[in-house]
Structure 1
Amino acid sequence: MIAIYPRVSTEEQVKSGFSIDYQIREGKKKAGTDEVKIYPDEGYSGEYLERPGMSQLRKDVKDGLITKIICLDPDRLARKLMLQLIITEEFEKRGVELIFINGEYAKTPEGQLFYSMRGAISEFEKAKITERMTSGRKEKADQGKVIKNSFLYGYDYDKENSRYLINEDEARVVRLIFNLFTKPNDIVEGINGIANYLTESNIPTKRGAKVWHKQVVRQILLNETYTGRFAQNKWNTEGMLGNKHKLPEDKVKMKLRPVSEWIYVECPRIITDIEYDYAQKLLGEARRRFAKEGLNQYLLSGLVRCGTCENTMTGRKSKNWGKTVFQYTDIKNTSGAKNKGCGTTVFCGVLDEIVWSQVHNWLNQPEEMAAASVEESQENYWEMNKSRIERELIKTKAARKKLIKLFSTDMGMGEEEIREELRELADREESLNKQLSELDLELSTIKKLESGKNMLAETLKYYLKLNPEELTFENKQALIRMLIKEVRYTREDINIVTF
């Protein structure tokens, strides 16, 4: 059977006018018959091999159904020389004759050279098109223009002038979200509470949906654009174009570029820098600060970490000489726990008293708290976190090398099992690299003195409303969580990390 392979991508159809119908018509002329099978790929880039029509053609060639293939010219098969050579070699091994409408392909040194040159030129042309598009977008961003409409909540896109304009109705909601998240209130608790409140208030999302999801609220809180700085060129999407035709494990993931490559453009401000910076500090602890209550209450729930093994320390009830006691422990009994802990425990009453005593002193001596918050604890905490992630990266890379060596020596472990573990380690490594990038970004924010002062002012305002003699468990817990990011405990030392 004779096959005709026609392909166009949007840019090529506009440029050359060689439509699918044209290629089919010319292919039938070349074949001298209408008895042909068509394998069209309309709207698919030749930069990737994974295309529906091409995949089916290769399968039918493999099954021996095709004896001759007619194509307009080599760059219809693929835009990259290497892919062209892979395809043609695959066809030739099955004894299939490959014919081009716009030129003869002979198995001679001259013909092979001509074919390779055409492929190289085609690949170069594709690369130039990509380069021109990328350069054009970058130049537009460098001129202070918004490249494309990202449909940011709080803004409308002015396409004619390539800029964002404030949408006043949505901007009021953005300010409300930041206020509810950063200031003590009796309306909502946490990101999920804000999402429920917006839904119950019948406020539509950007796309007009009636329901707000907590992830949408979180994205708004994380978005620096509301401070008047819109970051472009943040994400590297190279290679993602062909994802829809690839297997899940082969899909190219979007990668965050280094902060130094981001291009900032000015846009209307909706919130202050202080509000944004304070929200970023709280976001890291949002899950733990608003975690669901268990059967027993623990004053430092979600804040304690073992300074030896890095496990979080959770509250538990246990027996000590027949008496019920409450402890914080780093021991993890779940079957899937990667780190079982080093066995560090401390009585809740002892640690609670030490931490509350320090918080109480800070509230009565705010100058000491401000100095600790801004000058020392924050930087130490993030440097410690960065070192921990870097150690995890080293372990992950070492594990990957070990698996590859195991695969090459064939120690009896299944190939698919090794591939699965390698994919998991690759995902782990990518996640750790992303965390490092986020830490670098957060560190520059955390060092700002003004946001530290703002945090302390909000806490003091909340504290002064209360009667010190009648502080409830909830009052103390709220104050602790507003001031403290983490309590790192070892048998020799207690390090209280503030925001």
Structure 2
Amino acid sequence: MDVQGLRKWKKAEKVKSRREKEKRKIREAFSNTSTVEVIPAKTEEMKEKMRRTRVAAYCRVSTYEDAQAGSFELQVQYFKETIEKNPNYELVKIYADEGVSGTSMKKRVKFQEMIQDCRLGKIDLILTKSVSRFARNTRDCLEIIRELKALNPPVGVYFEAENLNTIESKNEFTLGVMSLVAQGESEQKSASIIWSVIERFKRGIPIISTHNLLGYDKDRYGKMVIDEEEAEVIRYIYGCYKDGQSVREIAENLTEQHIPTVNGGTVWSSSTIRNILKNEKYCGDVLMQKTFTVDCFSHKVVKNKGQKPQYRLRDHHPPIIPREEWNNIQKLLLKPRHKSKIKGKRLVKKIIVTKIKSGKLKGFVVINPKWNDKEIDQFFKFMNKNI
């Protein structure tokens, strides 16, 4: 045997000897039982000292419909009763989001409040109906669950329908599968809604809100009708642009005259004027799918620049601007326009009011705070004539 081989043999023998010694130690430990004192972990001591578990519940429904309103209240009352009846539970709070989607956590105010309370150490356990009530986005769901488990002390989430407690590490795989199912349901539901909307568009059934549409309102049957007070502003804008004024000059003129915007504001912007001039609704048409939502999780809305088909419905409602004039304005908008020397016209009617078109205050008007005493008197005279 050469020197190199001898060294390898000696090394192997040493390793073999160490392994035999280790085995012998283990055999002796099991044959000679020793008394070992177990010092419990601090977290376990804290759990033993804690007499009652601080429990919260999370409830959510995605719409304000009557059927879901009943489901929402049922969730709230059920969890409240469940926690109060358990002698080991201490009710912290029932966190409830009504009328919000589960695909995104940004708009779920109560959910965010609950997670913050967990971070502050106010909650030990969260009860919720199912994975889909908690979150429909797999990534968000798992990230939140892992964050709660990593807190000191950790916070568990119990999903009643799935009989799943996230404190148990073996349940993470199951939770991942269940959240994927919930996400798939959201994607399928979103696809169904998009399909139904597109089918409406194809058959000439537009979805139009007049809440932020200057010049139009809806009658009791839901049909678009011209609001003459606001239509006067629209005709003024088109007339000024046809006469050579720029969008910036028109915006400045309206602001100086204290003409309220569609939302009752006092300052007009160039972009608002340009959007009004480009809006096909003022010639009686409706262009559908001007924008679209990228996905059901980010809820990001982007402008449709040809990525999706669009649907145009002509002569849908009474026009404020004749079609020929509207078409000419579209041609003028393609050419750059600099500041003109044309003196800005004034609206014939000085007092123009903005009516609230939807919500609990529908029918009320917005008074411009910059009106002087004379203008306010004119306003009340005008209102008295129209009562």
TM norm structure 2: 0.58
SS in 2 for 1:58: helix
In the alignment, structure 1 residue 6 sits paired with structure 2 residue 58: yes
1:156 aligned residue (217, 235, 240): 217
Counterpart AA for 2:216:
Y
Residues 241 and 149 of structure 1: CA distance in aligned 2, closer, same or farther (over 3 Å): farther
Q: For 1:219 and 1:126, how far apart are their aligned partners in 2?
A: 34
1:271 to partner: Cα distance: 3.0
Cα displacement string for residues 319-347 of structure 1 (whole angstroms, at most 9, x for unaligned residues):
xxxxxxxxxxxxxxxxxxxxxxxxxxxxx
> Where does 1:314-463 land on structure 2 (aligned, <5 Å)?
none
Contact 1:8/1:42 (8 A) holds in 2:
yes
Counterpart AA for 1:74:
V
2:305 aligned residue (258, 271, 276): 258
* Higher mean C-alpha displacement, 166-175 vs 253-262: 166-175
Counterpart AA for 2:325:
E
Residues 179 and 241 of structure 1: CA distance in aligned 2, closer, same or farther (over 3 Å): farther
State the superposition RMSD in angstroms. 3.8
Counterpart AA for 2:193:
M
Contact 1:3/1:39 (8 A) holds in 2:
no
Cα displacement string for residues 256-293 of structure 1 (whole angstroms, at most 9, x for unaligned residues):
1134522222323333454334323444556634499x
Q: For 2:132 and 2:188, how far apart are their aligned partners in 1?
A: 15
Residues 289 and 113 of structure 1: CA distance in aligned 2, closer, same or farther (over 3 Å): same
SS in 1 for 2:158: strand
Gaps of 5+ in 2: 1-52, 343-387
1:17 aligned residue (71, 74, 93): 71
1:275 aligned residue (325, 330, 334): 325
Contact 1:6/1:23 (8 A) holds in 2:
no
Query: Percent sequence identity over matched residues?
Result: 23
Cα displacement string for residues 44-90 of structure 1 (whole angstroms, at most 9, x for unaligned residues):
42212334443344344445554333223222321223332222232
Cα displacement string for residues 344-386 of structure 1 (whole angstroms, at most 9, x for unaligned residues):
xxxxxxxxxxxxxxxxxxxxxxxxxxxxxxxxxxxxxxxxxxx
Counterpart AA for 1:11:
T
In the alignment, structure 1 residue 37 sits paired with structure 2 residue 112: no
TM norm structure 1: 0.46
Q: How many residues end up aligned between the 2 structures?
A: 277
SS in 1 for 2:218: strand
> Where does 1:50-199 land on structure 2 (aligned, <5 Å)?
50=106, 51-94=108-151, 95-105=154-164, 107=168, 115-151=175-211, 152-158=213-219, 160=221, 163-168=223-228, 170-183=230-243, 189-195=245-251, 197=253
Q: For 2:120 and 2:228, how far apart are their aligned partners in 1?
A: 62
Counterpart AA for 2:287:
A
SS in 1 for 2:338: helix
Contact 2:287/2:310 (8 A) holds in 1:
yes
Q: For 1:52 and 1:176, how far apart are their aligned partners in 2?
A: 43
Q: For 2:236 and 2:297, how far apart are their aligned partners in 1?
A: 38
1:114 to partner: Cα distance: 5.1
Q: For 2:122 and 2:262, how far apart are their aligned partners in 1?
A: 52
1:103 to partner: Cα distance: 4.5
Gaps of 5+ in 1: 243-251, 293-499
